[in-house]
Structure 1
Amino acid sequence: MAKVLILTPVKNATRFLPGYFDRLNRLTYDKQQLSVGLLEGDSNDGTYEELSTLAKANASKFRRLRIFKRDYGFAIPPHMERWETSMQLARRNVLARSRNQLLFRMLDDEDWVLWLDVDVIGYQADIVEHLLSYKLDILHPDCVREPGGKSFDLNAWKDDGKQNMHDLRGTGRPVRIDSVGGTMLLVRADLHRDGLIFPSFRYGVESPSIRSCHPLWGKGEIETEGLAAMARDMGQQCWGLPDLQILHA
Structure 2
Amino acid sequence: MARSISIAITPRTETILEAENVSVHYGAVPAIQNVTLDIPKNQVTSFIGPSGSGKSTLLRCFNRMNDFIPGVRLSGKLKFEGVDLYAGDVDPVQVRRRIGMIFQRANPLPKSVYENIAFGARVNGYPGDMDELVERTLRRADLWDEVKDKLWQSGLSLSGGQQQRLCLARVMAIEPKVLLMDEPCSALDPHSTLQIENLLTELKQQYTIVIITHNIQQAGRISDWTAFFNSEVTDRGRLNHLVEFAPTKILFSTPREQATQDYVSGRFG
Indicate the structure (1 or 2) with the bigger Cα radius of gyration.
Answer: 2
TM-score normalised by the chain length of structure 2: 0.26
TM-score, scaled to structure 1:
0.27
Higher relative contact order (CA 8 A, sep 6+): 2
